[in-house]
A = this chain, B = another copy of it.
Amino acid sequence: MRRIKLTIEFDGTHFAGLQTQAQGERTVQGELEAALAQIPGALPKIVACGRTDTGVHALAMPVHYDTQDPIPAAKIPFALNGLLPPDLRALSAEEVDPGFHARKSCFWREYRYRILQRTFPPALERNRVWWIPQALNLVPMRHALEDLVGLHDFGAFAIKEERSTLREVYRAHLEVRPTDSGREIWMEFIGSGFVRGQVRSMVGTLVEVGLGKRDSSSIAALLHSGNRSQAGPTAPPQGLYFVRAGYEPYGKH
């Protein structure tokens, strides 16, 4: 038996998230395990680096599974892509140490959130961005972003209670990208990990800062309070992308 680290890309629009939950819902895990079940020797059971909710996308999500199949690792994506649906793709595969664990061995994760600013809702990017027609003031948003960096209790941004909500954000960055019809604001977050709903709650809160509904200096107090009801709304899922993950301490890649 050998362990394979597989990196996948998916369009989250028509998935009820990554992880298999209730019966009958279409999930990334369900589709990937159905494909693995067609490869003799592969155990149709995957472990993913992160969870993603319904509608959230992934550019390069690592997962692992065990197999006795004789396929050379570099050929696995070709085999899998012939079995996977078009909104889920294998990008690379490598054989790893049997102790490797896609979630537990991971040192850092990178997420991106895309906001589209223009007058009218987008037809082409409707499942890819959060459309916000109101002007956003980026200066206080950048200040607020800085206060999210570091080791904090992110309980105020958690969707539901978890054993520990202590996480470290290594980098939080905002950039503006011109588009054909307006501009996009990309927020990028790199951290040791993120509690459930953290990125979308942080983005919802930052948008309130950008709209002038919340002071940029309120983030520190919000983190300190640990009170979810004081954070902003959860940003919609279609603007969120799991970008990639690292298996060495952050900064060493």
Which residues of A approach B to under 8 Å, CB–CB?
9-11, 57, 59-60, 77, 81, 86-91, 119-124, 126, 128, 180-181, 243
Closest Cβ–Cβ distance, residue A10 to chain B (whole Å): 5
B10, B86, B88, B180: the one contacting A59 at CB < 8 Å is: B180
Let me know if A10 and B87 touch, CB within 8 A. Answer: no
Q: List 23 A-B contacts (CB under 8 A).
A: A9-B122, A9-B123, A10-B124, A11-B123, A11-B124, A11-B126, A57-B124, A59-B180, A59-B181, A60-B181, A77-B120, A81-B121, A86-B121, A86-B123, A87-B123, A89-B120, A89-B121, A89-B122, A89-B123, A90-B120, A91-B120, A124-B128, A180-B243
A9 near B81 with CB under 8 A, answer no
Residues of B within 8 A of A119 (CB): 77, 91
B59 near A124 (CB under 8 angstroms)? yes
Stoichiometry, as copies per complex, reads: 2
Residues of B within 8 A of A126 (CB): 11, 86-87
Cβ-defined contact, B91 with A181, below 8 A:
yes
Residue numbers in B under 8 Å from A86 (CB-CB): 121, 123, 126
Given contacts A59-B180, A89-B120, A89-B122, 14 further A-B contacts (CB under 8 A): A9-B123, A11-B123, A11-B124, A11-B126, A57-B124, A59-B124, A77-B119, A86-B126, A87-B126, A89-B121, A89-B123, A90-B120, A91-B119, A124-B128
Q: Roughly how many angstroms separate A243 CA and B124 CA in the complex, as a whole number?
A: 12
Q: Are A10 and B81 in contact (CB under 8 A)?
A: no
**Closest B residue, CB atoms, query A10:** B123
List the B residue with the shortest CB-CB distance to A121: B89
CB-nearest residue of chain B to A88? B123
- Of A11, A60, A124, most buried by chain B (CB within 10 Å of CB) is A124
In the complex, which residues of chain B have a beta carbon less than 8 angstroms from the beta carbon of A91?
Answer: 119-120, 181
List the 9 shortest-distance A-B pairs measured between CB atoms, nearest first. Answer: A89-B123, A9-B123, A11-B124, A11-B123, A59-B180, A10-B123, A87-B123, A86-B126, A89-B120
